[in-house]
Chain A
């Protein structure tokens, strides 16, 4: 029998696979053919980008609110206006230089473009002369301890002065917003947003301190809108000279962050680290790359396979059970259980399928000795009122079935 059942080798089965093997991996030539079009596109992109940069002049980004910067973000227009009005503008990039210039007849402009450190802030706060703080410098509580900035920021938009400050009244509406302030007694607040001024001026210790919520109105871009130019000019020309603090120019090979991280000896983290560490990091990156290439290279192709669907045939029945359960369909469930029990019981009783309920009930009662009324209620009665009743019904039907073996 085993020879009958054993699969017999068909002639076609053994001859077909005896083909010679052929190499299918890419040769250098095919690799070059596949790669040359993307390479050409990439090369073209690089050339175009380089040409754009080289021909498009300096690609230096604008330095925000720098009196020497002519870009949209710079402040050269305002500086020029000030100079035209006879005010000397001194551009300084450190607190030390600002302190060296400090005098009573001078206004110190601190903008949010200048990165402050706590020590610098302390020195700036003690300088004589007027003080104008524009935007969110983060050290308002040191520079102007009498003023408190409110937590919510307001949108920068054109606002009316609504105050007695002559400079503001003369300027009219201005593009202002950002921080709002609550100030000391006697302070003048202008350009209110929701009744909270975004510009506040007060006198303290013989000098005038002005805080403004945002600095955008001073940039070259915004200066000619609204009364921005007039407002900026009026705020700045109270004294003979203005000390304009700007962000220090980054030195060669040194990033801005290292500057701010400088320790007590003035040496940054980067300076204290031996050169080896930087090179070591590069070497580690190379090692990482090699590890990726090592682990990422597969031996041969990924083989995909069309698998048959895995679906249990009972899932539809389970789904119907869950529907009954979710809807608490006791009526339907009881009906199904009764029909199943009757289908099994009736033939055993020797009755035909079309026997009436009374005949069935009495026959069962005779066989099992149960109360006919109870049997009738279980088989033909109303659906159970709750789940416990349903479980009881199922159990009773099982009991009846077992009684009629």
Chain B
């Protein structure tokens, strides 16, 4: 049961009655009895909420940034009209609107109500409960009941970088058909023979064919299809750091001012104060993981179009997701589906385990695209010792999302405090350059780009490898 504001109001009026009554004691008893009788009547004559049945329909899959519309059909098999309020209880980040809405279902009938979700982050959102409050005829008290009517909505990664796909596909077509390559590489296959023109590489002259015809003939090659691409997503702690500006604000992404700029008493920090004044605290942006997913989706879409087989592995200390052997049309839906619930785990990624998982899954030579952070300390201890195992059998490409905030810090040198920050940023960038150089020395391709450039940069790196026949 639940009391209404009206009951409290009646009691408040009762105070006046008691104050002016000639016999206050009996007056108080009378008011209370009246109120109790009213509440009892309301509880007896309110429509029953326990027998209500709920039927749901609506969206189950949406992309982050879209809204899901859900219908709840309330069926009232009871004998009395159910009139009151209904709340579909979703987690806060599901952004369910309205929070509660009026319901009015006559006996034996059904009514449809709509709830709109505007989720603020990826993942599966589940309705916890549906609660109904059924008011009595006097409006003093209500019957209230909670029902479990399960429904879950999977919020997929938004794949914002798909805007880069048409231009990259055009480049791919250029590579594939119209411009056959004259360079022979590992990832090329024989395309055709044609007459030699001045400027062609003499090494590509096919002497046997030249001997048959009375003309110099060269072989042309084209990028081989059906190569394998394995995208490995690092879901360890380094992927949790937030960078850039979130295109779709995540839940809880707005920083609390007091939390990020703790004031230390007794220590004057004019620099810190001016910093917060002239540069309002940057919103924490998206986790590296989400930017990496975006890049992975663009690469997967591109590679699938290029005729390559794309597999996907998400790993920190265990396999979080594994997609293999998906057909061209099913690949992207399958990828976004497994990516949706992945969150960065706050543990150190196990690079040795990751390499073992990759080696056990990829029996043939393939392009291993490792999406991680180019964090010198983490890579030194994790990936570098085991990298040779991987790079000896596969072509490895490491892609890391850089932090534009660090670059901004390095560029700002107005005051002494800012110069100290700039020095720290320079140091971080130098570490990054060092680890990048070391990776390249191991024969590993490295893509290091800002959050909103990582997806096209990775796609370009893939296209460059493809054009060079290195796949």
Say yes or no: A14-B406 contact (C-beta < 8 A), given A282-B28, A312-B285.
Answer: no
**Are the C-beta atoms of B150 and A23 separated by less than 8 Å?**
no
A286 to B133, CA, bound (A): 23
**Are the C-beta atoms of B146 and A301 separated by less than 8 Å?**
yes
A322 to B416, CA, bound (A): 11
Chain B binder among A119-127, A165-173, A264-272, A335-343: A335-343
**Are the C-beta atoms of B406 and A317 separated by less than 8 Å?**
yes
**Are the C-beta atoms of A313 and B403 separated by less than 8 Å?**
yes
**Are the C-beta atoms of A339 and B426 separated by less than 8 Å?**
yes
User: Would you call B330 an interface residue if the criterion is a C-beta within 8 Å of the partner chain's C-beta atoms?
Assistant: yes
- CB neighbours of B405 from chain A (8 A): 312-314, 317
User: Would you call B415 an interface residue if the criterion is a C-beta within 8 Å of the partner chain's C-beta atoms?
Assistant: yes
A267 to B162, CA, bound (A): 88
**Are the C-beta atoms of A17 and B151 separated by less than 8 Å?**
yes
User: Would you call B8 an interface residue if the criterion is a C-beta within 8 Å of the partner chain's C-beta atoms?
Assistant: yes
- CB neighbours of A333 from chain B (8 A): 419-420, 423-424
Point out the residue from A16, A20, A299, A308 that lies within 8 Å of B131, measured CB to CB: A299
Q: Which interface residue of A309, A316, A387, A390 has the most chain B CB atoms within 10 A?
A: A309
User: Would you call B320 an interface residue if the criterion is a C-beta within 8 Å of the partner chain's C-beta atoms?
Assistant: no
A323 to B423, CA, bound (A): 11
User: Would you call B19 an interface residue if the criterion is a C-beta within 8 Å of the partner chain's C-beta atoms?
Assistant: yes
Say yes or no: A7-B336 contact (C-beta < 8 A), given A287-B11, A305-B93, A317-B428.
Answer: yes
User: Would you call B366 an interface residue if the criterion is a C-beta within 8 Å of the partner chain's C-beta atoms?
Assistant: no
Chain A binder among B55-63, B108-116, B172-180: B55-63
| Cβ proximity bits A275-300 to B, threshold 8 Å, 1 near / 0 not | 11111101110110011011001011
A92 to B121, CA, bound (A): 81
- CB neighbours of B329 from chain A (8 A): 4
User: Would you call A303 an interface residue if the criterion is a C-beta within 8 Å of the partner chain's C-beta atoms?
Assistant: yes
**Are the C-beta atoms of A7 and B152 separated by less than 8 Å?**
no
- CB neighbours of A340 from chain B (8 A): 410, 426-427, 429-430
B interface, size bucket: 35 or more
A232 to B337, CA, bound (A): 93
A282 to B285, CA, bound (A): 55
- CB neighbours of A5 from chain B (8 A): 159, 162, 301, 332
User: Would you call B247 an interface residue if the criterion is a C-beta within 8 Å of the partner chain's C-beta atoms?
Assistant: no
| Cβ proximity bits A155-187 to B, threshold 8 Å, 1 near / 0 not | 000000000000000000000000000000000
Main secondary structure of the interface of B (DSSP, over half): mixed
Say yes or no: A390-B242 contact (C-beta < 8 A), given A19-B150, A299-B133, A336-B424.
Answer: no
**Are the C-beta atoms of A321 and B147 separated by less than 8 Å?**
no
A316 to B329, CA, bound (A): 42
A-B interface contact total, Cβ < 8 Å: 274
**Are the C-beta atoms of B150 and A7 separated by less than 8 Å?**
no
**Are the C-beta atoms of B50 and A27 separated by less than 8 Å?**
yes
**Are the C-beta atoms of A321 and B240 separated by less than 8 Å?**
no
**Are the C-beta atoms of B146 and A21 separated by less than 8 Å?**
no
Across the interface, name the chain B residue whose C-beta is closest to A19: B150
Point out the residue from B133, B147, B423 that lies within 8 Å of A336, measured CB to CB: B423
- CB neighbours of A249 from chain B (8 A): none
User: Would you call B4 an interface residue if the criterion is a C-beta within 8 Å of the partner chain's C-beta atoms?
Assistant: yes
- CB neighbours of B426 from chain A (8 A): 336-337, 339-340
A7 to B133, CA, bound (A): 37
Point out the residue from A17, A20, A293, A390 that lies within 8 Å of B416, measured CB to CB: A390
- CB neighbours of B152 from chain A (8 A): 16-17
**Are the C-beta atoms of A390 and B419 separated by less than 8 Å?**
yes
**Are the C-beta atoms of B146 and A24 separated by less than 8 Å?**
yes
Across the interface, name the chain A residue whose C-beta is closest to B121: A308
**Are the C-beta atoms of B144 and A24 separated by less than 8 Å?**
no
- CB neighbours of A20 from chain B (8 A): 53
- CB neighbours of B419 from chain A (8 A): 333, 337, 387, 390-391, 394
User: Would you call B209 an interface residue if the criterion is a C-beta within 8 Å of the partner chain's C-beta atoms?
Assistant: no
**Are the C-beta atoms of A320 and B427 separated by less than 8 Å?**
yes
User: Would you call B12 an interface residue if the criterion is a C-beta within 8 Å of the partner chain's C-beta atoms?
Assistant: yes
Q: Which interface residue of A18, A304, A325 has the most chain B CB atoms within 10 A?
A: A325
A315 to B237, CA, bound (A): 14
- CB neighbours of B11 from chain A (8 A): 283, 286-287, 290-291
**Are the C-beta atoms of B18 and A290 separated by less than 8 Å?**
no
**Are the C-beta atoms of A23 and B91 separated by less than 8 Å?**
no
User: Would you call B417 an interface residue if the criterion is a C-beta within 8 Å of the partner chain's C-beta atoms?
Assistant: yes
Residues of B148-170 contacting chain A, CB below 8 A: 148-152, 154, 156, 159, 162, 165-166
- CB neighbours of A301 from chain B (8 A): 89, 128-129, 131, 146
**Are the C-beta atoms of B128 and A1 separated by less than 8 Å?**
no
- CB neighbours of A336 from chain B (8 A): 423-424, 426-427, 430
**Are the C-beta atoms of B90 and A321 separated by less than 8 Å?**
no
User: Would you call A252 an interface residue if the criterion is a C-beta within 8 Å of the partner chain's C-beta atoms?
Assistant: no
User: Would you call A60 an interface residue if the criterion is a C-beta within 8 Å of the partner chain's C-beta atoms?
Assistant: no
A27 to B147, CA, bound (A): 12
User: Would you call A405 an interface residue if the criterion is a C-beta within 8 Å of the partner chain's C-beta atoms?
Assistant: no
| Cβ proximity bits B19-48 to A, threshold 8 Å, 1 near / 0 not | 111001101100110010000000000000
Q: Which interface residue of A277, A317, A398 has the most chain B CB atoms within 10 A?
A: A317
**Are the C-beta atoms of B130 and A283 separated by less than 8 Å?**
no
User: Would you call B5 an interface residue if the criterion is a C-beta within 8 Å of the partner chain's C-beta atoms?
Assistant: yes
Residues of A117-170 contacting chain B, CB below 8 A: none
**Are the C-beta atoms of B416 and A294 separated by less than 8 Å?**
no
**Are the C-beta atoms of B148 and A24 separated by less than 8 Å?**
yes
Say yes or no: A23-B243 contact (C-beta < 8 A), given A286-B32, A325-B420.
Answer: no
- CB neighbours of B288 from chain A (8 A): 313
User: Would you call B271 an interface residue if the criterion is a C-beta within 8 Å of the partner chain's C-beta atoms?
Assistant: yes
Across the interface, name the chain A residue whose C-beta is closest to B123: A308
User: Would you call B409 an interface residue if the criterion is a C-beta within 8 Å of the partner chain's C-beta atoms?
Assistant: yes
7 A-B pairs, CB-CB below 8 angstroms? A8-B330, A9-B60, A23-B49, A279-B24, A294-B4, A307-B251, A325-B417
B interface residues with partner A (beta carbon < 8 Å):
2-5, 7-8, 11-12, 14-15, 17-21, 24-25, 27-28, 31-32, 35, 49-56, 60-63, 85, 87, 89-93, 100, 121, 128-131, 133, 144-152, 154, 156, 159, 162, 165-166, 240-243, 250-253, 255, 269, 271, 282, 284-285, 287-288, 301, 329-330, 332-333, 336-337, 343-344, 346, 373, 403, 405-406, 409-410, 413-417, 419-430, 433
List the 9 closest A-B pairs by CB distance, nearest first. Answer: A313-B241, A300-B131, A333-B423, A279-B24, A287-B11, A321-B421, A340-B426, A387-B416, A321-B424
